[in-house]
Amino acid sequence: MRKIRMGMVGGGQGAFIGGVHRMAAALDGQIELVCGAFSSDGERSKASGEELYLPAERVYTSYEEMFEKEAKLPEGEKMDFVAIVTPNHVHYPVASAALKAGFHVMSDKPATFTLKEAEDLAEEVKKSGLLYGLTHNYTGYPMVKEAKYMVASGAIGAVRKVVAEYPQGWLATHVEASGQKQAAWRTDPKRSGVSGCMGDIGTHAENLLEFVTGLKVTEVYADLTTFVEGRLLEDDGNVLIHLENGAKGVLYASQISVGEENGPQLRVYGEKGSLQWDQQEPNKLTVKWLDKPREVLTPGGNYGYYCDRTASSTRLPAGHPEGYLEAFANLYVTFAEQIRAHLAGEALPEHTLDLPNIDDGIRGMKFIETVVKSSAQKAWLPL
């Protein structure tokens, strides 16, 4: 037995999400970072690698070089998979190249720059026989898994209404003009895609909602707005939604909601009960019932009423809060489990199948492109 070996593309000095992926991968001691092409700027890549205590020969100046050289290393040494943490426009080329070179892929979201790319990538994943994970990290929270389980088990009855919100406030002013790196690429159509807010965080809301309810969004009516003058992509969007079973809902995302830090929140109303989860207090799942007092579920209890998956996604006893990184780490440790099964030539364990994959990537890209069109055309559009 050995640790699974990870390479990384992107995530050099000054980046945000690269560090998140590294901490998430490291937490459970199942994965080790062995190499990286951390920046398209060779010097920055080298410096980043050194900070991460990587040997100089495993720090590359491009992903092409990395895949080529890693592929030639002996089995006991070369990386097993690549983590892609670049801006959106680079997701597809890197993922595609990694698969061609025989490496599994763990990609930040959205999967690609366009829906077309996502569909192509799905084909390539399928053809390759390799594994592809997508870090829709909010699915990694134990209480989100519990919510999914409660819906699936029928505990709250048929879903009627959903409300998915994702407010942030960090783009309430024209920060990209100041050169802030995170803001700059996220508001740049050339690097972010056709959408700003909906692509960056609206997709998280969409994914969370479909993950928990197990229902597809079938139609959307969107109203997107760019509030900050000079910004090139929308920074706020309100969307009416219809789900496949006749349920209705509201989904909104915003980056100009002053004072909101990072607020994904989901409410699911069924015929017998309802669920409420707020990422900023992630260790609570509030369950409201038709005919009995509301309950507040927390992870780590010994009560025996949680699904196994909630339990296996929790590291600590009740009352020891786990957060964003732990949820993110749940995706990585699940991906490591999948890779171990793959290495052993076994089928992926049932419980690991909740890891978002390229199909979720396609859903996300469809969502992005459809809400942009719906808002422009002022029309309900199918998803």
Restricting to residues 205-234, which ones interact with its own copies according to CB under 8 A? 221, 223, 225, 227
Total interface residues for its own copies by CB under 8 A: 89
Which own/partner contact pairs does 372-377 have at CB distance under 8 Å and 24+ positions apart? 372/194, 372/195, 372/198, 372/222, 372/224, 372/234, 374/220, 374/221, 374/222, 374/239, 375/222, 375/223, 375/224, 375/234, 375/237
Q: Which of residues 132-151 bind its own copies (CB under 8 A)?
A: none
Q: Which of 27, 73, 341, 348 is in the footprint of its own copies by CB under 8 A? A: 27
Annotate each residue in 41-80 with x if it binds its own copies (CB under 8 A) or - if it does not, as one string.
Answer: ---------xxxx---------------------------
User: CB-based contacts of 360: which residues, under 8 Å, 6+ apart?
Assistant: 111, 134, 136, 207, 210
Q: Residue 381 pairs with which residues in a beta bridge?
A: 220
Q: Any contact of residue 261 with its own copies (CB under 8 A)?
A: yes
Interior CA angle at 312 toward 151 and 16, to 5°? 90
Identified binder of its own copies from the candidate list 10, 36, 202, 270, rule CB under 8 A: 270
For residue 101, give every residue at least 6 positions away whose Cβ sits within 8 Å of its Cβ, in sequence order, or none. Answer: 67, 68, 70, 71
Task: Rule CB under 8 A: choose which of 43, 65, 68, 295 binds its own copies.
Answer: 295
Per CB under 8 A, the list member of 198, 205, 256, 339 interacting with its own copies is: 256
CB of 36 to its own copies, least distance (A): 12
Using CB under 8 A, pick the residue from 152, 177, 232, 258 that binds its own copies: 258
Q: Minimum distance from CB of 60 to its own copies (Å)?
A: 19
Alpha-carbon distance 1 to 250, whole Å? 47
> Which of these segments, 22-30, 64-72, 98-106, 340-348, binds its own copies (CB under 8 A)?
22-30
Stretch that binds its own copies, among 28-36, 187-195, 200-208, 337-345 (CB under 8 A): 28-36
Figure out which of the listed residues 42, 93, 102, 169 binds its own copies, where binding follows CB under 8 A. Answer: 169
Subset of 305-364 contacting its own copies (CB under 8 A): 305, 315-326
Q: How far is the CB of 226 from its own copies (least distance, A)?
A: 11
State which residue, 54 or 84, has the beta carbon closest to its own copies.
54
- The structure tokens 């790196």 sit at 181
Structure tokens at 296: 């507040």
Amino acid at 255: Q
Determine the distance from the C-alpha atom of residue 156 to the mean position of all C-alpha atoms in its chain, rounded to a whole number: 26
Distances (CA, A) of 267 to 94, 114, 220: 36, 29, 18
